[in-house]
């Protein structure tokens, strides 16, 4: 009878531990996570590619926030300056003559 009680107790602890780890590590997907990732990709693409005068190979791009209409504000940090841009996911595309449509300068302060 002791062994049965010990076995049931151990199995109960294992189930409770597994449930606790599952609940602790459960990350609910945010509905805008895919759009945020697209904005980051577009920002990096605009900084790294194209026929711009100077490419910024040492720049870091970070997504600051969105306005709820598939527009995201990005901060681009270069060794010499920090600038912010709005990226419109629906209008962002490369121009045939160089550069990108759907991206424009923004203030880096609060939205």
Question: Is 18 part of any domain?
Answer: no
CA atoms within 13 Å, Cβ hemisphere of 12: 6
Please count the structural domains in the chain.
1
pTM equals 0.60
Q: Answer with the residue of higher pLDDT: 31 or 72.
A: 72
Q: Are 89 and 71 in contact (CB under 8 A)?
A: yes
Predicted confidence (pLDDT) per residue in 19-50, tens digit = 999 888 787 666 677 888 888 888 888 877 65
Question: Is 5 part of any domain?
Answer: no
Domain that holds residue 93: 33-106
Question: Is 92 part of any domain?
Answer: yes
């Amino acid at each position: 009878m002791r062994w049965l009680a010990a076995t049931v107790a151990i199995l109960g602890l294992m189930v409770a531990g597994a449930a606790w780890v599952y609940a602790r590590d459960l990350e609910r997907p945010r509905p805008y996570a895919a759009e945020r990732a697209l904005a980051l990709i577009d920002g990096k693409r605009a900084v790294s590619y194209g026929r711009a005068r100077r490419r910024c190979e040492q720049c870091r791009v970070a997504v600051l926030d969105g306005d709820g209409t598939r527009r995201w504000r990005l901060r681009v940090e270069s060794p010499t300056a920090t600038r912010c841009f709005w990226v419109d996911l629906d209008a962002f595309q490369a121009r045939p003559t160089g550069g990108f449509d759907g991206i424009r300068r923004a203030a880096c302060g609060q939205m």
